[in-house]
């Protein structure tokens, strides 16, 4: 068969596999947003079936032969070759995984997540420990069959989120970053003592008014709500279930709207990335995000460099007064800016200030690496967590809810995910600084509340490439050099020590 005919067969099968994946994503979104708690077991079986069927269709011997033959063709276009080559990488990994392991992981993930919710309600890690142990065991089994020569078990899992990422390089980066961040944190806290920070009143922030405010904010950013929506959940996330169907979630707390507001801005950054991918490549590597570190760079660049910056609130503080009449009118935009950018070690990662945030990530990186490599037992995880928080941040969680139960990642089997948050923060600082220095008119527009030039620059520079390049190569394409930590640390110093 000719290359064109073979490629059309390739597209047909990839569309089928993608449809199965997106149906599973929709069921997963529903599980975390609307599904009644009693539906957990049936949903686990449904997701396990879908994941097994997706694995079966993707690893069908005829499809393997088809992709292998396409790889040998010399007349593919550049886009076709990227899609075929990257698919082969994923296929090579998937072929190694037994079908019963695929199903077992999918089912155990659903079961463990439901137990995690129960454990959070009781603030007791012991409630979920058994299921987490089972999920960790399956994750290690998965790592054993997919790891590449010379890779550790943890690196095999990290590779699922950060293709071609090197754990040794991340470990060295974090070892260098940790003392510098600790020093910067101490200086920022000390400086903060000389600058009084207003505490905003608690209570009176109705959910419907929060939703209206959040909708205005993500619309300002340019998130297309005709192809998206906002809902509440336990742990905010963004789920894309189709090229024109991007679901944002956040938390609604009527005592304080701040956590939910910045969560939805963060998730909208993810959503804008997914909406900026090339839709003609939906379900193909060129229509998928580069990696989770690049995905995090897109959420953090909006959350930290735009929506936490002073120009943003100088322009938009009135939106808060409109949303909550009489609650905040006695305060100024400057009061609010200082309030949301206060630096103080805290227990909750998603509510942490920018300076201490990566210390939260480093703690999780070290703990999950120890879990996967067998150096830390699941039963010892809460104590190890509390010890790390005391050593790194000088605080100790009062219960498991504020400690080891706060993040969903381990309870959905996402071991190896956490390092991408700090890599994303580093990439976000690099990208924003590059935008400022190379796009003066775009930056002037951003400062005046016109976010379209900034969003379009991100789309041209990052989104449109899909998985054409690995993370570090993509960053080098944009910056003209390798990414590093200097822009990140300079940004933090200027904002929190020099401002």
3-state secondary structure of 404: coil
Residues 188 and 66 in one domain: no
136 close to 415: Cβ distance less than 8 angstroms: yes
Quick check: is 375 in a domain?
A: yes
Residue 416, CB-side half-sphere exposure with 13 Å CA sphere? 26
Quick check: is 162 in a domain?
A: no
Work out the number of other CB atoms within 10 angstroms of the CB of residue 97: 16
Catalytic annotation on 162? no
pLDDT digits (tens, 9 = 90+) for 147-162: 989 999 999 999 999 9
Residues 176 and 310 in one domain: yes
Q: Is the pLDDT of residue 499 over 70?
A: no
pLDDT digits (tens, 9 = 90+) for 1-50: 899 999 999 999 999 999 999 999 999 999 999 999 899 899 999 999 99
Quick check: is 133 in a domain?
A: yes
pLDDT digits (tens, 9 = 90+) for 224-241: 999 999 999 988 999 999
Structure confidence at residue 235 (pLDDT): 85
Residues 142 and 173 in one domain: no
Work out the number of other CB atoms within 10 angstroms of the CB of residue 176: 11
Residues 110 and 174 in one domain: no
3-state secondary structure of 448: coil
The C-alpha atoms of residue 216 and residue 9 are separated, in whole angstroms, by 43
Quick check: is 253 in a domain?
A: no
Out of 114, 239, 267, 354, which one is annotated catalytic?
Answer: 267
Work out the number of other CB atoms within 10 angstroms of the CB of residue 193: 8
3-state secondary structure of 398: coil
Quick check: is 206 in a domain?
A: no
The C-alpha atoms of residue 433 and residue 428 are separated, in whole angstroms, by 8
Structural domain including 100 reads 3-146
Structure confidence at residue 194 (pLDDT): 77
Residues 173 and 136 in one domain: no
3-state secondary structure of 326: coil
Structure confidence at residue 199 (pLDDT): 84
Tokens in use for 325? 């009449």
The C-alpha atoms of residue 248 and residue 258 are separated, in whole angstroms, by 16
Structure confidence at residue 195 (pLDDT): 73
- CA-based angle 60:62:64, to the nearest 5? 70
Considering only CA atoms, which of 332, 212, 328, 312 is closest in space to residue 260? 212
What backbone torsions phi and psi does residue 248 show, to the nearest 5 degrees? -100, 145
**In terms of DSSP H, where are the helices of 200-246?**
207-221
pLDDT digits (tens, 9 = 90+) for 444-462: 999 999 999 999 999 999 9
Burial class (CB in 10 A: 0-12, 13-18, 19+), 431: buried
Residues 436 and 484 in one domain: yes
Give the distance from CA 319 to its chain's centroid: 27
Residues 332 and 460 in one domain: yes
Q: In the listed set 146, 178, 210, which residue is the last one of a domain according to the structure?
A: 146
Residues 366 and 421 in one domain: yes
8: left (phi over 0), alpha (psi -120 to 50) or beta: alpha
Indicate whether this model's pTM tops 0.75: yes
What backbone torsions phi and psi does residue 157 show, to the nearest 5 degrees? -75, -40
Burial letters 237-259, b for 16+ CB under 10 A, else e:
bbbbbbbebbbbbbbbeeebbeb
Burial class (CB in 10 A: 0-12, 13-18, 19+), 123: middle
Tell me the C-alpha to C-alpha distance, in Å, between residue 107 and each of 47, 443, 451, 491: 7, 47, 42, 43
**In terms of DSSP H, where are the helices of 99-206?**
99-122, 126-146, 153-161, 167-192
For the residues 60-88, what does the mean pLDDT come to?
96
Structure confidence at residue 270 (pLDDT): 98
Least confident of 55-64, 73-82, 124-133, 336-345: 336-345
Burial class (CB in 10 A: 0-12, 13-18, 19+), 423: buried
Q: pLDDT band at residue 490, thresholds of 50, 70 and 90?
A: very high
Residues 295 and 183 in one domain: yes
CATH code, domain carrying 324: 1.10.1370.30
Which residues are CB-contacts of 403 (< 8 A; sequence separation ≥ 6)? Answer: 125, 347, 382, 385, 386, 389, 397
Higher pLDDT, 466 or 194: 466
Quick check: is 87 in a domain?
A: yes
Q: How many structural domains is the chain composed of?
A: 2
Quick check: is 383 in a domain?
A: yes
Work out the number of other CB atoms within 10 angstroms of the CB of residue 225: 14
State how beta strands 228-232 and 245-250 pair. parallel
Partners of 245 in beta bridges: 242
Please provide the average confidence, as pLDDT, over all residues in the chain.
95
Residues 137 and 182 in one domain: no
Tokens in use for 350? 């998603």
Considering only CA atoms, which of 184, 249, 169, 232 is closest in space to residue 471? 169
Q: In the listed set 113, 146, 179, which residue is the last one of a domain according to the structure?
A: 146
Residues 12 and 94 in one domain: yes
Structure confidence at residue 151 (pLDDT): 92
Residues 178 and 127 in one domain: no
Tokens in use for 400? 């498991």
Quick check: is 312 in a domain?
A: yes
Structure confidence at residue 156 (pLDDT): 96
pLDDT digits (tens, 9 = 90+) for 395-420: 999 999 999 999 999 999 999 999 99
pLDDT digits (tens, 9 = 90+) for 261-305: 999 999 999 999 999 999 999 999 999 999 999 999 999 999 999
Tokens in use for 196? 């009084």
Give the distance from CA 51 to its chain's centroid: 22
The C-alpha atoms of residue 405 and residue 399 are separated, in whole angstroms, by 9
């Amino acid at each position: 068969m000719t290359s064109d005919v073979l490629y059309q067969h390739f597209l047909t099968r990839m569309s089928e596999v993608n449809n199965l994946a997106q149906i599973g994503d929709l069921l997963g979104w529903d599980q975390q947003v609307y599904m009644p708690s009693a539906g957990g077991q049936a949903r686990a079986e449904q997701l396990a079936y879908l994941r097994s069927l997706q694995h079966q269709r993707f690893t069908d011997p005829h499809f393997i032969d088809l992709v292998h033959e396409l790889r040998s063709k010399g007349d593919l276009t550049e886009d076709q070759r990227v899609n075929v080559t990257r698919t082969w990488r994923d296929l090579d990994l998937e072929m190694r995984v037994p079908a019963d392991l695929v199903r077992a992981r999918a089912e155990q993930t659903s079961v463990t997540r439901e137990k995690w919710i129960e454990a959070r309600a009781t603030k007791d890690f012991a409630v979920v420990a058994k299921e987490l142990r089972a999920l960790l065991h399956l994750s290690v089994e998965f790592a054993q069959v997919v790891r590449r020569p010379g890779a550790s078990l943890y690196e095999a899992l990290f590779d699922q989120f950060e293709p071609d990422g090197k754990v040794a390089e991340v470990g060295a980066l974090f070892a260098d970053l940790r003392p510098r961040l600790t020093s910067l944190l101490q200086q920022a806290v000390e400086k903060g003592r000389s600058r009084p920070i207003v505490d905003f009143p608690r209570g009176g922030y109705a959910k419907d008014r929060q939703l209206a405010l959040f909708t205005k904010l993500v619309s300002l950013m340019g998130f297309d709500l005709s192809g998206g929506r906002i809902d509440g959940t336990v742990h905010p996330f963004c789920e894309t279930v189709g090229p024109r169907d991007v679901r944002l979630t956040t938390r609604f707390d009527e005592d304080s709207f701040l956590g939910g507001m910045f969560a939805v801005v963060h998730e909208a950054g993810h959503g804008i990335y997914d909406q900026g991918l090339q839709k003609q490549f939906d379900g193909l590597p060129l229509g998928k995000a580069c990696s989770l570190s690049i995905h995090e760079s897109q959420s953090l660049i909006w959350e930290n460099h735009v929506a936490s910056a002073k120009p943003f609130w100088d322009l938009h503080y009135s939106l808060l007064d409109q949303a909550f009449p009489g609650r905040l009118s006695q305060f100024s935009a400057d009061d609010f800016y200082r309030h949301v950018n206060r630096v103080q070690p805290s227990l909750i990662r998603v509510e942490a200030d920018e300076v201490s945030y990566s210390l939260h990530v480093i703690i999780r990186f070290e703990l999950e690496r120890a879990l996967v490599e067998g150096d830390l037992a699941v039963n010892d995880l809460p104590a190890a967590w509390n010890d790390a928080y005391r050593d790194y941040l000088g605080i100790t969680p009062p219960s498991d809810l504020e400690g080891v139960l706060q993040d969903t990642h381990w309870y959905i089997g996402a071991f190896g995910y956490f390092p991408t948050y700090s890599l994303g923060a580093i990439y976000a600082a690099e990208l924003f600084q590059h935008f400022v220095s190379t796009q003066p008119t775009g930056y002037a527009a951003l400062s005046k509340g016109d976010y379209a030039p900034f969003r379009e620059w991100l789309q041209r520079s990052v989104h449109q490439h899909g998985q054409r390049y690995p993370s570090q190569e993509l960053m080098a394409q944009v910056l003209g050099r390798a990414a590093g930590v200097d822009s990140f640390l300079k940004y933090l110093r200027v904002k929190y020590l020099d401002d």
